[in-house]
Structure 1
Amino acid sequence: MYSSYSVAAAVCSCFFPAFAATAVATRFRARMVQKLKLGLDDWLILSALVFAFSYCCIVLYGSFRASIGQDLSTINPVDYTNYQKHLYFGVIIAHLSYGFVKLSVLQFYKRIFTTLAFRLWANAMFAFVCLFMLSATITQIFSAWPISNWWTLGKNYTINYGAFITSFAAIDLLLDVIILSMPLPVIRNLHVTTRKKILIMGIFWMGFFCVVATAVRLYFGYQLSLAGAGKPVSDDEFSYVSVNNIIWAEIESCCSVVAACLPTYGPIMRSLAMPSFMKTSIQSLLNSLKRKSTDRTSSSNTNVWFPLSDDRLKFTSVK
């Protein structure tokens, strides 16, 4: 018999990666509609999808073969070893998935915002995210030494592992908020109505749910750190916290991929049969942005936003 926690983890491992794969396929379809070559941001999001999919496969297999979601008091030493091995490699893969999504979003920003100051800021964030990914991965790999201590019953970590996963989730959350907020100053300076500015902000803030997912993962990571620090906790409660941390890591990795793809769907949306008032609103928005970008392309001191519907090769300032 499998616990309800194991079943929940297995269901999430099937649904969310399928959702993310559909989002990436739609993104690539939108590029084909625009007749644009795939850029670095597209390949980065594909890499993020591969890591998210791999993590979900580990959780899916572990739900039935490695006691993920089971009451830890009921498993034997062999099951414990399998359980810990799945967690060890799963955390590494999940960290890489989060990082590649952020890199894809930053690279996408650089394709549509052309001011020097913004590009410098995006490059600085890009470098910081790379360093953060590298440090998190190395820390996870060597969090126990020898590495086999990670899944050996009775052995300890070489670091305070609870503090590590909690601090990582907190920094990850902060980076998400910063990256989502980066376009706001540019959008604020657009010469369009407030209503249209809010609409544009809404497009870029579709990833806010990922911030919520990270915050929930931070909460469960903190609960795990308390249990690891010796706080009295029942086996069932520990199993509940542990599996929820795993599930919300799946949700965050897959939904982050989806959110990063949504702003690229302009050509697909225009090809759908929408009510006339929606078509009029979207077309008006794109026309306003097009006039803004056309009038200001030659100025290096002006914030420019290039509409996703236009072929970027028309603008010599976009590389």
Structure 2
Amino acid sequence: MYSSYSVAAAVCSCFFPAFAALAVAIRFRARIAHNLKLGSDDWLIVSALVFAFSYCCIVLYGSFRASVGQDLSTITPVDYTNYQKHLYFGVIIAHLSYGFVKLSVLHFYKRIFTTQTFRLWVNVMFVVVCLFMIVATITQIFSAWPISNWWTLGKNYTINYGAFLTSFAAIDLFLDVIILCMPLPVIRKLHVKTRKKFLIMGIFWMGFFCVVATAVRLYFGYKLSLAGAGKPVSDEEFSYVSVNNIIWAEIESCCSVVAACLPTYGPIMRSIAIPSSILSSIQSLLNSVKRKSTARTSDSNSNVWIPLSGDRVKPASIRKGQDVEVGVVQSGEIRVQRSFATETHTQEG
């Protein structure tokens, strides 16, 4: 017989990775169907999906073969060893998944916003996230020494493991909030109506649920830290806290992948029966972000970028039937920006 906690962990391990895989598939469909070049953000989100999927597979197998979700007072020493091994490797994989999602979102920002100051801050955050991934991975690997102590009954960690989960969940939450807030100063300076500014912010804040998932995981990590600090806790309560920490880690990793994909669905939305007013609003919002951002960058350059026209054209380098917008010209180059796209092509003038 399996406990309800084990069943819940198994169900989440099946549903959420499938949802995340579908989101990434739609993202690539949108890119390929409209002949858009795949970028670093696309490959980083694939890496995040691989790690999220791997973590869910570990939890799924552990739910039936390694006592994940079971009352720890009822398992054998062999079951305990299997349980700890799954937990050990699962935490490493989960932290890598969180990190790659953040890196993907940061690269997506670099596609949308072209101001030098903003791109500088994106690069700084990129380094910070990489350091976070490295430190989290190394800390988890050497949280017990020798490493086999991690899954050996009666052995202790070299650190307060509950405090480790709590602190790194708090840092993860802090980084998520910063990354979500990064576009706000740029959006605030756009010369558009306040209502449109809120709509643009809503597009980039689709990942807010991931912040909620991280906050819940932080709570259960804190509960584990109390147990690690010696506070009396029953086996049943500890099982409840540990399995919820695992489940919310799954939810965070998979939903982060989904949230990172949502803003990239613009091209494929044209082929879906969605009111044209909604499509045109979303397209104009993101095009406005790119045009305003590019305009501020060009104003700071010594060379003047002269607008050619606001009319739509179809250069020879673009396939027939594809809408594009002419941006600006500099040194004999025509820079073409697709509607609701994130690539820039050049054609010799």
TM-score between both structures, scaled by the size of structure 2: 0.85
What is the CA distance between 1:285 and its match in structure 2? 3.3
What is the CA distance between 1:198 and its match in structure 2? 0.6
Gap change, CA 1:72 and 1:196, over 3 Å in 2: same
What is the CA distance between 1:35 and its match in structure 2? 1.3
Gaps of 5+ in 1: none
What is the CA distance between 1:314 and its match in structure 2? 3.8
Distance (Å, rounded) in 1 between the aligned partners of 2:11 and 2:48: 21
Distance (Å, rounded) in 1 between the aligned partners of 2:230 and 2:264: 47
User: Contact 2:283–2:340 at 8 Å: present in 1 too?
Assistant: no
User: Contact 1:290–1:307 at 8 Å: present in 2 too?
Assistant: no
Matched with 1:309 is 340
Q: What whole-Å deviation, never above 9, does each CA across 1:96-147 have from its counterpart, x for those lacking one? A: 0000000111111111111111111110110111011001100000000000
Distance (Å, rounded) in 1 between the aligned partners of 2:282 and 2:108: 21
What secondary structure does 2:221 align onto? helix
Gap change, CA 1:314 and 1:53, over 3 Å in 2: same
Tell whether 2:29 aligns with 1:29: yes
What is the CA distance between 1:284 and its match in structure 2? 4.5
Q: Which amino acid aligns with 2:37?
A: K
Q: Which amino acid aligns with 1:41?
A: D
Tell whether 2:164 aligns with 1:169: no
Distance (Å, rounded) in 1 between the aligned partners of 2:40 and 2:287: 27
Distance (Å, rounded) in 2 between the aligned partners of 1:148 and 1:290: 52
Gap change, CA 1:287 and 1:183, over 3 Å in 2: closer
Q: What whole-Å deviation, never above 9, does each CA across 1:262-303 have from its counterpart, x for those lacking one? A: 1101011222111244244335435644653565562348xx
Q: Which amino acid aligns with 1:312?
A: E
Matched with 2:318 is none
Matched with 2:272 is 272
What is the CA distance between 1:307 and its match in structure 2? 7.2
Distance (Å, rounded) in 1 between the aligned partners of 2:209 and 2:164: 23
Distance (Å, rounded) in 2 between the aligned partners of 1:295 and 1:129: 29
Distance (Å, rounded) in 1 between the aligned partners of 2:214 and 2:224: 15
Aligned counterparts, 1:180-199, within 5 A? 180-199=180-199
Distance (Å, rounded) in 2 between the aligned partners of 1:96 and 1:283: 33
What secondary structure does 1:58 align onto? helix
For this pair of structures, how many residues does the alignment match?
A: 313
Q: What whole-Å deviation, never above 9, does each CA across 1:53-92 have from its counterpart, x for those lacking one? A: 0000000000000000000000010000000000000000
Matched with 2:319 is none
Gap change, CA 1:295 and 1:175, over 3 Å in 2: closer
Structure ranking higher on relative contact order (CA contacts 8 Å, 6+ apart): 1
Matched with 2:15 is 15
Matched with 1:55 is 55
Distance (Å, rounded) in 1 between the aligned partners of 2:233 and 2:294: 62
Q: Which amino acid aligns with 1:80?
A: Y
User: Contact 2:173–2:214 at 8 Å: present in 1 too?
Assistant: yes
Aligned counterparts, 1:120-199, within 5 A? 120-199=120-199
What is the CA distance between 1:33 and its match in structure 2? 2.9
Gaps of 5+ in 2: 302-326, 328-336
Gap change, CA 1:242 and 1:271, over 3 Å in 2: same
Matched with 1:112 is 112
Distance (Å, rounded) in 2 between the aligned partners of 1:215 and 1:283: 32
TM-score between both structures, scaled by the size of structure 1: 0.93
Q: Which amino acid aligns with 1:2?
A: Y
Distance (Å, rounded) in 2 between the aligned partners of 1:72 and 1:258: 34
User: Contact 2:269–2:279 at 8 Å: present in 1 too?
Assistant: no
What is the CA distance between 1:223 and its match in structure 2? 0.2
Matched with 2:311 is none
Distance (Å, rounded) in 2 between the aligned partners of 1:154 and 1:311: 54
Matched with 1:6 is 6
Distance (Å, rounded) in 2 between the aligned partners of 1:278 and 1:309: 13
User: Contact 1:115–1:300 at 8 Å: present in 2 too?
Assistant: no
Gap change, CA 1:307 and 1:98, over 3 Å in 2: farther
Tell whether 2:208 aligns with 1:208: yes
Matched with 1:75 is 75
What is the CA distance between 1:226 and its match in structure 2? 0.4
What secondary structure does 1:224 align onto? helix
Distance (Å, rounded) in 1 between the aligned partners of 2:31 and 2:114: 20
Greater strand share, structure number: 2
